[in-house]
Amino acid sequence: MRFRNLGTSDLLVSEIALGTWLSYGEAEALEGVPRDRHLLATKLWGPMTDTDRGLSRAQVFKQIDGSLQRPKADHVDLYQRHRYDDDTPVAETMDALELEARHA
């Protein structure tokens, strides 16, 4: 398998990825795969329910919890904003993401 750097970071990722939201939902597709053999990336913004959406501080923490619980993971390697949120100041989102990164 071929790998490449993610953007300008030192993080190496494979050229092939497995997306699980639409294809697997909450199935345990990574069960039995050692944690050091995969990179877990997730995004933040889109609605998981009618009320869970956006980039507020509360959503940053609520959505990371769900992203850890669904695959029964202990950490996320890449947590990214999916799109801009007109209703939340960028500073609020970035402060929450920074706190989450330090907590991880």
Ranges of H-type helices in the chain:
21-24, 57-69, 90-103
pLDDT band of 39, cuts 50, 70, 90: confident
The tokens for 11 are 């993080």
In this predicted structure, which of 15-24, 75-84, 92-101 has the lowest mean pLDDT?
Answer: 15-24
CA distance 33 to 90: 36
Q: pTM for this structure? A: 0.77
CA distance 71 to 91: 29
Judge contact between 9 and 50, C-beta under 8 A.
no
Domain positions in the chain are 3-103
Tokens 């790998």 correspond to 3
The verdict on domain 3-103 having CATH code 3.30.60.50 is no
Res 51 pLDDT > 80 = no
pLDDT band of 95, cuts 50, 70, 90: very high
pLDDT band of 87, cuts 50, 70, 90: very high
